[in-house]
Structure 1
Amino acid sequence: MTGPRPLAFAATGLSKTFETRTAVDDVSFVVPTRTVAALVGPPGAGKTTVLRLLLGQLRPTSGTATAARFTNTAPATSDAGTAVTGHASSIADSGAAAGTPGTAGAGRPSGTAAAERISGAAAASSGAALAGDSYGGGLGSSSMPGADTVGAVLTPRGLHSRRTVRDQLRVYAAAAGVSDARVDELLTRTRLDDVAEQRIDRVTEGVRTRLALAIALLGDPQLLLLDDPTVGLDAAETAWLYEYLNAHARRGGTVLLTSRTLSSVIPVADELIVLDTGRIVYQGSPARLRRSHPDRLLVKASSPIALATMLAARGITDAVMRPDGRLAIAETSVAQVESAAAAVRVQLTEITSEHIHPDQVLAALTRPAGSAVRTPAIYGAPR
């Protein structure tokens, strides 16, 4: 009998307030290992803020955020730095953001273990990597080389416009103590070989997104935090990315990514966490969300009530009367509707299909974002 999977990411009562605006409000979720999970919501929903709280780049106002064995908690009595716990290590809030591409200014933690660190790649908010022991007693048993690391792609990507793609990756590799051979391997894996010698300001946004992913993969991490990883990717690049993420999960890895649309993550996500103005409005599988917002047949009938009664007698109970008099029926077929109508001598004058697009579901769950929450400029606006 297989026991519960250990947790890779978790939030408990997590909140973050900037000045007088709340970006994240009492958020709780768990992401077990070997899962691809998606944080979904409109701009301003708090998605990027949640990722930064998980990475320890922001201090919670209340609650906790856990990535691997690192737990970021709100300080009990003062504002004197971010409390990121794990063998008594601590990461300063200001240091986590102060670096620039190629620097190691990612907030050097105190503590005695050399492995307890955030690598230099985290400094530019592009390829953050947390190193240390496993969280929950389970990650350490993985056969994946980077079972004790978290790789992250954040926004902005933290890329130097005048460097070439290869040189940018080498800068981060040097900061993380990774060989040039690993750089060449990642250029191939992320399909950047053909543009490796081009300057970053002359490549497409999709190339920059894949470069940010390559940086996050330098330490061969088991855990990935990806902020809008499909930005700028064409259909083929997106299909490649999703195939890679699914394979990563099958190998024992875990992914938490963000998206502004449901349609873009349905093909890859095992679990959905939908945010609206900082609060969770849905948490569960895509299939369960789909069942609560099914496609329907819109039927115009001479007696909708008689038709609905007969359908219910045959076990088809999800039928809703629309204001225009049509019956909206879920989980049925045209043949079943016609058979029920014939049984009660109801005349049908129109049957049309209503497909519910995933982003219609997202719009129903959320509301338009108001003005952006004001945050420290170094982090950008929360999303």
Structure 2
Amino acid sequence: MSARPLAFAVGGLTKTFDSLTAVDDVSFVVPAGSVAALVGPHGAGKTTVLRMLLGLLTPTSGTASVGGPGSGVRARQRAVGAMLTPRGLHPARRVFDQLRVYAAAAGVSDARVEELLALVRLTDVAGERIGGLTEGMRTRLALAVALLGEPPLLVLDDPATGLDIGETAWLNDHLRGHARRGGTVLLTSRTLSTVLPIADELIVMDRGRVAYQGSPARLRRSHPDRLLVKASSPIALATTLAAQGFTDAVMRPDGRLAIAEASLTQLESAASAARVQLTEVTPEHIHPDQVLAALTHTGPTAPAYPAPPAAAGYGPPR
């Protein structure tokens, strides 16, 4: 079976602004029909990567292409719907009129505008001014703009910003459905927990560099949930567990044994075989954002790129 064609390809991508290196030697590919997530704290360089992919910034070095290497600007204009930060929404304009402006630029009918208002659940506020909308509503309106031309490729910067749990679930369903229909999504997020339900591939960025790249499953295996165990002889218990195939057991400074991949029943069986008494067993569940914090520097950082004017959030999809 032949490999899937590439929707996005980034190679050795670097961007500097004066003395600030916002993106440093970043490489990744996103196959068509998948969802990939650029994840990292504010200032990690995620939005700068998206802007270079879209041709809004020129790389200092390296390549960023849409539709695979060599596809160029025409493919990008034809195939991509984008939502960046800032959103590029005029606060004094009414919701319906905002969509109509971009629809006219994209050669899309008003019927498509009505369809998208219903899709993003903004029909009831179509006549309201954008400045009075909640953050979640503005995010959904910006998503509607990105979807106007029914593009196969979506580039979405923090698409869950301001959404509640129900709206996030709807967004995830929509994006997964888009991928199942052959479309491709490249999105960003400041949290791992937000993207784990939908991402096929993770690119974790920290201070402009890639800190992790791979599947969510592989990341989870490297940061598993554990059982924290106090025992009469931790060393004897660890030795028996290793003989039974449970080799990921770490002695914590407080004397507890942290054991991965073993169930409570398997732990009790090993303790019985080792003639070790268990005095305390506590589950330790690792939250995805604890994993992100371990991979990145989450303290305050400078913005990864000079902030553009608000109206330059994105161009109309074509």
Per the normalisation by structure 1, the TM-score is 0.78
Which has the bigger relative contact order, CA under 8 A and spacing at least 6?
Answer: 2
Letter of the 2:241 partner, please give it.
L
* Pairing partner for 1:338 from 261, 268, 275: 268
Aligned to 1:130: 77
Q: Does 1:378 align with 2:308?
A: yes
Q: Does 1:300 align with 2:247?
A: no
Letter of the 1:318 partner, please give it.
D
**What is the CA deviation profile of residues 171-213 of structure 1, one whole-angstrom value per residue up to 9, with x for unaligned ones?**
1111112111111111111111111111111111111101000
Number of residue pairs matched? 310
Unaligned 5+ residue runs, structure 1? 72-84, 90-115, 118-128, 132-148
Aligned to 2:67: 68
**What is the CA deviation profile of residues 298-326 of structure 1, one whole-angstrom value per residue up to 9, with x for unaligned ones?**
00001000000111111111100000000
Letter of the 2:61 partner, please give it.
S
Change (3 A) 1:364 1:234: same
Asked if structure 2 preserves the Cα contact closer than 8 Å seen for 1:21 and 1:373, the reply is: no
Q: Does 1:245 align with 2:198?
A: no
Asked if structure 2 preserves the Cα contact closer than 8 Å seen for 1:298 and 1:328, the reply is: yes
Letter of the 1:12 partner, please give it.
G
Asked if structure 1 preserves the Cα contact closer than 8 Å seen for 2:44 and 2:304, the reply is: no
Deviation at 1:157, TM superposition (A): 0.3
Asked if structure 2 preserves the Cα contact closer than 8 Å seen for 1:39 and 1:272, the reply is: yes
Aligned to 1:317: 247
* Pairing partner for 1:276 from 185, 206, 213: 206
Aligned to 1:354: 284
Letter of the 1:21 partner, please give it.
L
* Pairing partner for 2:192 from 262, 268, 291: 262
Deviation at 1:374, TM superposition (A): 6.6
Q: How far, CA to CA, are the matches of 2:221 and 2:133 in structure 1?
A: 42
Aligned to 1:23: 22
Asked if structure 1 preserves the Cα contact closer than 8 Å seen for 2:117 and 2:126, the reply is: yes
Q: Any idea what SS the aligned residue of 1:186 has?
A: helix
Aligned to 1:327: 257
Q: How far, CA to CA, are the matches of 2:118 and 2:247 in structure 1?
A: 53
Deviation at 1:346, TM superposition (A): 0.9
Q: Any idea what SS the aligned residue of 1:336 has?
A: helix
Q: Does 1:225 align with 2:155?
A: yes
Q: Does 1:56 align with 2:3?
A: no
Q: How far, CA to CA, are the matches of 2:69 and 2:148 in structure 1?
A: 20
Aligned to 2:89: 159
Q: Any idea what SS the aligned residue of 2:21 has?
A: strand
Q: Any idea what SS the aligned residue of 1:280 has?
A: strand
**What's the % identity of the aligned pairs?**
72
Letter of the 2:77 partner, please give it.
L
Deviation at 1:347, TM superposition (A): 1.1
Letter of the 1:204 partner, please give it.
T
Larger helix percent:
2
**What is the CA deviation profile of residues 114-160 of structure 1, one whole-angstrom value per residue up to 9, with x for unaligned ones?**
xx38xxxxxxxxxxx712xxxxxxxxxxxxxxxxx100000000101
Change (3 A) 1:375 1:211: same
Unaligned 5+ residue runs, structure 2? 311-318
